[in-house]
Structure 1
Amino acid sequence: MLGRAYSIFDTAIGRCGIAWSQSGIVGVQLPEAREIDTRRRLFQLYPEARETRPTPNVDVAIEGIVALLRGEAADLADITLDMSGIHAFDQRTYQVTRRIPRGQTVTYSEIASRMGTPSSVRPVTQAIGRNPFVVIVPCHRVLEAGSYTDKMSAHGGLISKRRLLSIEGTGSPASKTLLDVLLPVAPPRLPH
């Protein structure tokens, strides 16, 4: 296979898309209102990609995404990502974000601290907003401290963080108090 390719696949929340290169996954697209809109978004993001059958790595990614969107536990940690062309700071942000366990959330500030750059909350927030690997890099598990806004990622289609967290059984983030967000009962601990 030369260049990039993509595939559309069924999930419990609608038809998703995934794009890849020889080096790994380059992006995931959650469903738009209509499948044609999902395809259009993939074309805008990856105009050189051609629709084709998934490779074994992509099949594993699709199976994991499908399971996760069905509410099942799925380990997506071994999915190979192609981060060529992604700024080094964003890559580090995605590596840290990828370690957030299912059922747990952290704040942008916590991600910045875990990266060893506690003053970089704004760049972390921007990197999360650009995350092309939605679900595989679980940006929906990263929330604002003290408030919860029902944001959708750039590649999130019509699916919000709130809905993804609900599917994972995290509970309703909207019902969390400020103390719940700042002092979770079992704070996640990730290696630095």
Structure 2
Amino acid sequence: MSGRGYTVFDTAVGRCGIAWGELGLLGVQLPEAREIETRRRLFRLFPDARELRPPPEIHSAIDGIAALLRGKAADLSDVRLDMTGIPPFNARVYEFTRTIPRGETMTYGEVASRLRASGAVHSVSQAIAKNPFMIIVPCHRVLEAGGYADRISANSGSISKRRLLSLEGAGSPGSKTLFDVLLPVAPPRPQG
């Protein structure tokens, strides 16, 4: 990869954006209400990036993101992230969040505890809110203790955690996640 680039691409939930540099992925922007708003946000976040054809590694990430947003499984664990300028604690949160399996959730407190920083619940929530790597770092899988699953980071566009989790099948029968508490599956109605 040479220089910084970005592109906008189609998904089942709208036009997303992705930016990259020589060290890897710089950020993912989920769709705003209109494509021009998605492009504006990318420009504000990465003013030195040019619209380019994505290199193979980024094209693979785009394919994975598009698959996940269609409700399909995709492994994005090998996507290189450019963590330049990311605070060390946030980088630890992002690395751990990437290990949360599809369709499962954790709370901010559980993430803090796993990072051996149990007093850092607020710091975890702040890191999640600033996640520039939407979907690749699945911050939608990290919820408040009460299970609040609405909007996510600034890069989430108009998509909510609840919608992303439903695409992953969280809350479906047999899934044991905090999401089940939020939206339990209604029992079948008796016929007759």
Is 1:141 aligned to 2:141, yes or no?
yes
Deviation per residue, 1:30-86 (Å, 9 max, x gap): 000111110001001111110000011101100100100000011110001100110
Q: Is the radius of gyration larger for structure 1 or structure 2? A: 2
Give the secondary structure class of the aligned counterpart of 1:3: coil
Question: Where do 1:96-115 residues align within 5 Å?
Answer: 96-115=96-115
- Separation in 1, partners of 2:150, 2:39: 24
Give the secondary structure class of the aligned counterpart of 1:7: strand
Give the secondary structure class of the aligned counterpart of 1:104: coil
Seq. identity, % = 62
Equivalent position of 1:60 in the other structure:
60
Q: What RMSD, in angstroms, separates the aligned Cα atoms of the two structures?
A: 1.6
Equivalent position of 2:181 in the other structure:
176
Structure 1 unaligned runs (5+)?
A: 181-192
TM-score, L = length of structure 2: 0.89
Is 1:75 aligned to 2:75, yes or no?
yes
Structure 2 unaligned runs (5+)?
A: 173-177, 185-192
How far is 1:153 from its partner?
1.4
- Separation in 1, partners of 2:55, 2:179: 39
How far is 1:175 from its partner?
5.7
- Separation in 2, partners of 1:68, 1:162: 14
- Separation in 2, partners of 1:106, 1:149: 11
Q: Which runs of 4+ in 1 moved over 3 A?
A: 172-175
Equivalent position of 2:187 in the other structure:
none
The letter of the residue matching 2:48 is E
Give the secondary structure class of the aligned counterpart of 1:113: helix
Give the secondary structure class of the aligned counterpart of 1:42: helix
The letter of the residue matching 2:181 is K
The letter of the residue matching 2:37 is D
The letter of the residue matching 2:135 is V
Equivalent position of 1:188 in the other structure:
none
The letter of the residue matching 1:83 is M
- Separation in 1, partners of 2:156, 2:141: 13
Whether the 8 Å contact between 1:17 and 1:31 is mirrored in structure 2 is: yes
How far is 1:151 from its partner?
1.9
- Separation in 2, partners of 1:2, 1:171: 42
Aligned length in residues: 178
TM-score, L = length of structure 1: 0.89
Equivalent position of 2:127 in the other structure:
127
Whether the 8 Å contact between 2:109 and 2:118 is mirrored in structure 1 is: yes
